[in-house]
Structure 1
Amino acid sequence: MTYRLHFPPDVFDTYKQLPELARRDLALVLVDAQEDPLAASEPYGQDDGIIRTVAQGHVTAVVLVGRDTRTLTVLAIAYAGPS
């Protein structure tokens, strides 16, 4: 079952400010994570199966996996590439 993707408004603003290639990379990795969040992500610190990281290219996001609500919430985005 596919998870519903949720961006809080401030995190979505960060997403909109990314360069086009970074936005594409993040979108692709998040689409993959919606199908199977645990398989498409890595633990964020201690592996609790709830807070995870996804990354592709120069962009990384921290996501919250809501198993009961089937929601994948993007908590933070980091970009370490060229402007």
Structure 2
Amino acid sequence: MTYRLHIPGDQHDIYKALPDEARRDIAVCLVDAVHDPLRASEPYGEDDGIIRTVARGRAAVVILIGEQTNTITVLAIAYAG
């Protein structure tokens, strides 16, 4: 099942301001996550299966998995650059 991706405006602004390399890493993470979010991610703190982290290179994204709505929402973007 494919999930729909939702990036709130404030997170999209952060994404747009990142260097190209970080944007590519985040895009790859999110593309992988929309197909199988649990497999493509790691627990964020306690493993509740809902709030997860995807990471690649020096970029990480905290996502909220909405199983009933088949959505993934970006909660936070981090870049160590």
TM-score scaled by structure 1? 0.96
Please report the RMSD computed on the Cα atoms of aligned residues, expressed in angstroms. Answer: 0.4
Structure 2 letter corresponding to 1:79: Y
Structure 1 outlier segments of 4+, above 6 Å:
none
State the identity %.
68
Residue number in structure 1 paired with 2:79: 79
Specify every segment of 5 or more residues in structure 2 that has no aligned partner in the other structure, as ranges: none
Q: Please show how residues 40-59 of structure 1 align to structure 2 within 5 Å.
A: 40-59=40-59
Shift of 1:26: 0.3
Structure 2 letter corresponding to 1:20: D
TM-score scaled by structure 2? 0.99
Length, aligned pairs only: 81
Residue number in structure 2 paired with 1:9: 9
Between structures 1 and 2, the one with greater helix share: 2
